[in-house]
Structure 1
């Protein structure tokens, strides 16, 4: 390959590595630990933080305007200015030259608008960092500490319940649905960013980094949920909402439950209708009166998917009922045509739709946006896990152990690098420096690939890194020794370098390809720590080969391109 082509490839790889590494460098180097803790918490915690900060900021701004309205806006609130300017223009008012506290207040429609802007600022900031955390090189459970839970599919109970025999592919499909459901439950129970994946043929491994409450974890693992279809009493619903609007102190009991007003007759129950807020969490929308009698239980839902209405193009939620559920639903819909039906999950109304005709097995619900339809399809399937799970093991890993391990691993890498650097310079002088530069670039590529594919760095991965550091110089040593042989035959520097690389190529390929094959086999057949070691080793080998055959060759081409090329490859040879 020509020099320009080689240079282009190396520069392209360097740019791509920089893009892949940016989130990791930003996360570990520039995001404060306190912000990390907030961003990696649940959306409930983020909402509480954003609303709390907005409340404190609004109180502070009110205090400033009460003491002196002409006070200049403090620097920490400068993020309000662009929005205030846009509001001034929307209200067709002159934009102030000097931004005092009073001028900023006038740039918002009301105090609630200002509060919402403050809350949105903190929410967006943390959600952005939360998104960033999902694109960085992750630390494994053994480094960060936390909990590890191994679950096994209860195939016998499923087969006894359904009367069907499960094959391997069937179990995998059911476990994938279980994983989707468990992920859906995470924020509700405040469990932060667990890694949930299938292990083997019939097991699920859940690793929850950081501090986790075992009781809360068990609640989302074993919680079965409830899903029902009930008829809405529209007249009483209107009366209830009017009553609660006039009597806000009568909405909740002392225990925080919705009160059941005396005007509700027997067989009617007051509940609440919830929609997703900006955090993706339940937000109270209104109050609903339901028939206490359950029209259909969610256990009869066989499947639920998101579709599209062929005429209107609007998203729909389609679900299938089993034979018993079909009969029950037909009876419910045929006797309540024209009535409003509610989908109730864990006592909360999550969706409502008007019954237009009797329905038996196949049900279609419309009137939702795309995201709402997707959420509802999950709701219809998350009332219970498709296949029950048995806890095989549950253990905790101390975070302090993880910190010590990370520190020891970093020290090992630094010592290994230092020894290799010194060795190469002592033996090969200037060429050793070129090999050392390639070794550093090799580590950059390795970390970039691990970050790009969201691979997890574990203790064994660090062992793979250390091993890669030791192995990375092998190809360089082979090339340098070949060059020294060519020089000993009396060839010139440029000819020796060219011949040295040509003769070393197949030796390097044979040695590394066999190791890659072993690493790939370990990666496919191994699990847990073995897979982490194999992934790191495989990536490291490919990276070291690229550096030896592309980066080192490019540096030699640059050093020998002058009028008086000189090759420094040993203390006795120049």
Structure 2
């Protein structure tokens, strides 16, 4: 006898109700959507539907290796001095750190051991003449690049999130490239500036003994460097500073940066962690009266005079900022410094008109597909075909609600997945109804045929849909971007179609049979 358990009725009501709730924001006006909580939002449109910006970035691997080797120079210098080793010619040459160790074989062995202790993952060689060479092999370089790429992805994601861009797509491409898609951002200039800023901030003392004029003529002392200032001079010419190479306080100790105002001028306030605060306090205490240069990406932002010890571990960066400039600088400082600079290889803007045309075409395809399926099912299966049509509409509601609930981004391939789901959604109903016909032909009663149709067709429905789900999972695992969007839409559509075919259609047939007590199956034979 055909029977529908109460818990199944409650499950259908719960699932359909949840689908309606999560799908509802898609029918609301933009003003109402903005007031909704984050967990209850409509489908976000991808770059190909609402327009936006497409950026292709590449990490400068040569600069990454150079920076790493320059850091090794400082580490090696400290290690050799700690062992009281005599050496000469320490520096970077031919993608390696080189030096000459002075002394006998024991001195060379001691130098090798000291360097190995502080740099364990490098190739270290000391020949019979005392030539020390430290380099990185292919494996070490690959690990270095992998770490830099992961860090860059995370930092770019933080920066874009703070820009307020909804549903950005940030993915790696190949060994050293990153693809960034920003839906709704038609002018990528600000995003490019924020993303591309390395934001490596350090604090150095000015070299008070060397004039800028001497430095411009090439007379720069070994422990100093000539850096350009961010602010132009009184007549618009470039400004320069002679800065000590020694980093007094590293930007890695920075924990917060916020835009604010000082005497009605936009500035950026910053705060160090506990260790950075102690170092900063000691530097300012020991150098009262000197100028401390704030260097950002090898340019001097400002070089204020230290008027007294600053022990609270915070300060202010001034530099003739605009309000937007102060906001952007604070943003990139909060998100952290990129491990190396990046190059923009490609930049494309997708106009909103093209996206509107795609949405229109997708809606037409969806409505035509839905209409044709509804007409076919009604013509082929009569009343039961109408039950399948109701289940199909419920399936669309559940699919849209599910995509909205998980925060998915709808792209053109996603719309293709929805259209495909419409055709596949009635497959299960076709299998069930054809099974019912066979049972009637075999002499069973109407109610027994209906029960057998739902029960015996389930295994076939399950097997067919599981294989499609496996294909969707593989597309998601090995695909990227639009391919993943198609996989998500297809997989959710399969799950919702299985539910509606087995549960929603069965509930309608059960209610009809209970009320009508039919003696003839309303299926064209």
Which range, TM-score by smaller chain?
Answer: 0.5 to 0.7
How is 1:78-97 mapped onto 2 (pairs within 5 angstroms)? none
How far the C-alpha of 1:387 sits from its partner, in A, is 3.4
Query: How big is the shift at 1:229?
Result: 5.7
Matched, 1:570 2:523: yes
Shift of 1:570: 2.1
Q: Which residue, 435, 440, 460 being the options, matches 2:413? A: 460
**What residue ranges of structure 1 are gaps of 5+ in the alignment?**
36-124, 232-256, 261-291, 307-315, 358-363, 367-374
Counterpart check, 1:170 vs 2:123: no
Partner residue of 2:190 out of 207, 210, 216: 216
Matches within 5 A, 1:112-511: 128=35, 135-163=41-69, 165-167=141-143, 170-183=147-160, 186=163, 192-193=165-166, 195-200=168-173, 202-210=176-184, 212-225=186-199, 227=201, 300-302=250-252, 318=273, 329=280, 332-335=283-286, 355-356=310-311, 380-382=333-335, 384-511=337-464
Structure 1 or 2: more helix by fraction: 1
CA–CA distance in 2 between the matches of 1:134 and 1:387? 38
Deviations 1:184-227 (A, max 9, x none): 6636xxxx546142234643322223352243343223234474
Does the CA contact (< 8 Å) of 1:178 and 1:386 recur in 2?
Answer: no
State the secondary structure of the residue aligned to 1:198.
strand
* Secondary structure of residue in 1 paired with 2:514: coil
Secondary structure in structure 1 of the residue aligned to 2:273: strand
Structure 2 counterpart SS, 1:560: helix
- The CA distance in 1 between the partners of 2:337 and 2:487, in whole Å, is 37
Partner in structure 2 of residue 21 of structure 1 = 23
Structure with larger RCO (C-alpha < 8 A, sep 6+): 2
Q: Which runs of 5+ in 2 are unaligned?
A: 70-139, 206-230, 235-241, 257-270, 316-327
Matched with 1:4 is 6
Q: State the Cα distance separating 1:397 from its structure 2 match.
A: 1.8
CA offset digits 1:410-458 (Å, max 9, x no partner) = 1111111111111111111010011001101111111111111111111
CA contact (8 A) 2:200 2:337 kept: yes
Name the SS for the 2:500 alignment partner: helix
Whether contact under 8 Å (1:304, 1:320) holds in the other structure is no
User: Secondary structure of the residue that 2:21 maps to in structure 1?
Assistant: helix
- For residues 447 and 206 of structure 1, what CA distance do their matches in structure 2 show? 26
The CA deviation at 1:571 is: 3.6
The match for 1:113 is none
* Structure 1 partner of 2:482: 529
Say if 1:195 and 1:206, in contact at 8 Å, map to a contact too: yes
- 1:391-425 deviations in whole A, cap 9, x for unaligned? 23222223222111111111111111111111111
Distance 1:298 1:426 in 2: 81
Aligned CA-pair RMSD: 4.4
Contact 1:152 1:391 in 2 (8 A): yes
Across the two proteins, how many residue pairs are aligned to each other?
387
Q: 1:400 to 1:566 in 2, by over 3 A?
A: farther
Q: Relative to 1, partners in 2 of residues 1:564 and 1:155: Cα closer, same or farther, differing over 3 Å?
A: same
SS in 1 for 2:347: strand
Alpha-carbon distance between aligned partners in 1 of 2:248 and 2:469, rounded to the nearest angstrom: 50
Distance 1:295 1:184, change over 3 A: farther
Q: Distance in 2 between matches of 1:391 and 1:486?
A: 66
User: Who is 2:507 aligned against?
Assistant: 554
Contact 2:4 2:510 in 1 (8 A): no
In the aligned structure 1, how far is the partner of 2:392 from the partner of 2:34?
A: 36
Give the SS at the match of 1:569. Answer: coil
Cα distance in 2, alignment partners of residues 502 and 486 from structure 1? 12
CA 1:347–1:186 in 2, change beyond 3 Å: closer, same or farther? farther
Contact 1:484–1:569 (CA<8 Å) still a contact in 2? no
Indicate the residue corresponding to 1:111 in structure 2: none
Tell me, yes or no, if the aligned pair for 2:159 and 2:331 is still in contact at 8 Å. Answer: no
TM-score relative to the length of structure 2: 0.63
Q: What does residue 468 of structure 2 align with?
A: 515
1:542 aligns with: 495
Distance 1:126 1:299 in 2: 46
